[in-house]
Amino acid sequence: MEDSDLWLVYRDLAIALAAGLLIGVERGWAMRGEPKGARVAGIRTFGLIAGMGGLVALIAQSLSLVMAAILLAAIVTMLSVSYAKTIHDPDGRSITNYVVALSTLCLGLLAGSGYPAVALAGAAIVAALLATRSELHGFLRKLGETDIKAAIRFAIIALAVLPFLPDRAYGPYEAFNPQQLWFVVILVTGLSFAGYVANRIFGADHGTIVTAVIGGAYSSTAVTASLSQRLRSEDSSGRSLSAGIALASSVMYIRVLLLTFILANFAFLPMAMILVPAAMVAGLAGLLMLRKSGATKAGEQVETRNPIRLLPAFFFAATVAAMSLAARWAEAEFGSSGIAYLVLIMGSLDVDAAIITLGTLPGGTIAVNLAGFVLAMTVLANMLFKTAVVVVTAGWKSGRSAAIALTASSLVLAMAGLVSFVVLDIHF
């Protein structure tokens, strides 16, 4: 064996030992209060377990695979016998340590097999998981059945479908790319899921304002409807609720800009020129009403629905696919003006779908300035709809402040759009 090869062997064995010691430090600290002799394994034992794993891997590569298998079986048997007497302890400590010991052995095997970086990374992850035991258990205690179902559904959408979809164009006008369509579903539902999780974790502690802002990350319209219903009967917190409506809309602007930057970045700058002033007006109005209300922690919570629902996700994918096909047809029959009118009409119903549709079109299909203007006008339609929701649901007397804030933002948006239309010489 050459000196360089010998150095690699020493390195791998040293890293195997280090990985075991890292885990052993956490285990030793966690069980520091146990009586002497009560612990099956401590810092030295975990280090030796990983070191033995490294040695077994080295023996398998250099000497005898059969001998390595016998040694590995002996180590596992020794660990199993050592933990057998305590495996049914009420605190469940022993089964955790047993699993950790086997994981440590596997990490040692990885290091000895020539994957020291993976072994160290794995040891760090295992140690981090063990060290955050109380935090993880506390988080689990906050979860309900709905939260678990939401996480599982998002995992299905994000992990169980995408890898098996083909990444190529299909159908009339080659309008359908299954993997691309599903990726945007993951992105949109991911934003919804992130807002939902944040709402569940922080909502009860920070009240209406924070939960309204979080809700605006995935449905400012739903937040507006929810708070408008409460405005009619909760006069004492009217300013706080109105502030939540305005701030939810300001977050909606940010969300739309973020989606555009990711999915249709060619339209981002002209769209941002129109939306940013309106977003600032909505945010400023919300902050002013919040300051006047004198309540940033009202102990209230906006009821927001679980956003991770499989059937709506499938429906959204189908809608985007249909809009993509319609956009390709409109471009073929009427040119870029046909796409603009189509996106404007459909985007008034679903801004996200309009952004995604533009993002799936080939470059140069529609003028950049026209695309940004059309997307901004879909947001204007959404703002006008929410203003109507406030007035109709809460009534003018109770919803006046929120309606004025949304109207002011809409007027700024309309004026910025008009200026952009003239200055940039936009033509349909």
Closest CA relative to residue 251, chosen from 283, 278, 275, 228: 283
Q: Are residues 132 and 152 in the same domain?
A: no
Whether the per-residue pLDDT at 119 is higher than 50: the answer is yes
Closest CA to 143 of 197, 63, 85, 83: 197
**Same domain for 237 and 376?**
yes
Pair (359, 277) in one structural domain: yes
What does the radius of gyration of the chain's CA atoms come to, in whole angstroms? 29
Asked if residue 186 lies in contact with residue 157, where contact means CB atoms within 8 angstroms, the answer is: yes
The tally of domains found in the chain comes to 2
pLDDT higher than 70, residue 313 = no
Indicate the residue among 103, 137, 171 that finishes a domain.
Answer: 137
> Helix, strand, or coil here: 176?
strand
Same structural domain, 79 and 153: no
246 domain residue, yes or no: yes
User: Tokens in use for 246?
Assistant: 């305005």
Listed in sequence order, the residues at least 6 apart from 196 whose beta carbon sits closer than 8 Å to its beta carbon are 150, 218, 304, 306, 307, 308
Query: What angle separates helix 43-62 from helix 3-30, to the nearest 10 degrees?
Result: 150
- In whole angstroms, give the CA distance from residue 173 to residue 180: 16
Which domain, by its residues, includes 155? 143-423
Q: What are the residues whose beta carbons fall under 8 Å from the beta carbon of 167, sequence distance 6 or more?
A: 177, 178, 179, 180
Side chain identity, residue 43: I
Indicate whether 224 and 292 sit together in one domain: yes
Q: Can you tell me which residue has the tokens 């050459």?
A: 2
Report the C-alpha gap between 182 and 136 in whole angstroms: 31
Residues 75 and 153 in one domain: no
Same domain? For 299 and 418 the reply is: yes
Closest CA to 383 of 406, 417, 359: 406
Summarised one tens digit per residue, pLDDT across range 376-417 is 888 888 888 888 888 888 888 888 888 999 999 999 999 998
Q: Is residue 408 part of a domain?
A: yes
Which residue from 308, 131, 300, 132 is spatially nearest to 210, judged by alpha carbons? 300
In 218-349, the DSSP E strands lie at: none
The angle that helices 310-334 and 336-347 make with each other, rounded to 10 degrees, is: 150
Phi, psi values for residue 307, rounded to 5°: -85, -10
Q: What is the pLDDT of residues 139-191, one digit of tens each?
A: 777 777 777 777 787 788 778 888 888 888 777 767 678 887 787 677 666 65
Whether the CB-CB separation of 376 and 275 falls below 8 Å is answered with yes
> For 74-83, what is each residue's pLDDT tens digit?
988 888 887 7
Same-domain pairing of 186 and 215: yes
Q: Which pLDDT value is given to residue 165?
A: 84
Domain's final residue, options 102, 137, 172: 137
Residue 87 lies in a domain: yes
**Are 109 and 185 in a shared domain?**
no
Same domain, 78 and 156: no
In a domain? residue 428: no
pLDDT by residue (tens digit) across 200-215?
666 544 555 666 777 6
Q: Are residues 148 and 273 in the same domain?
A: yes
The pLDDT tens digits of the residues spanning 260-283 come to: 888 778 888 888 999 999 999 988
* Whether 246 and 380 share a structural domain: yes
Q: Of 137, 157, 184, which residue is a domain's last? A: 137
287 versus 325: the higher-pLDDT residue is 287
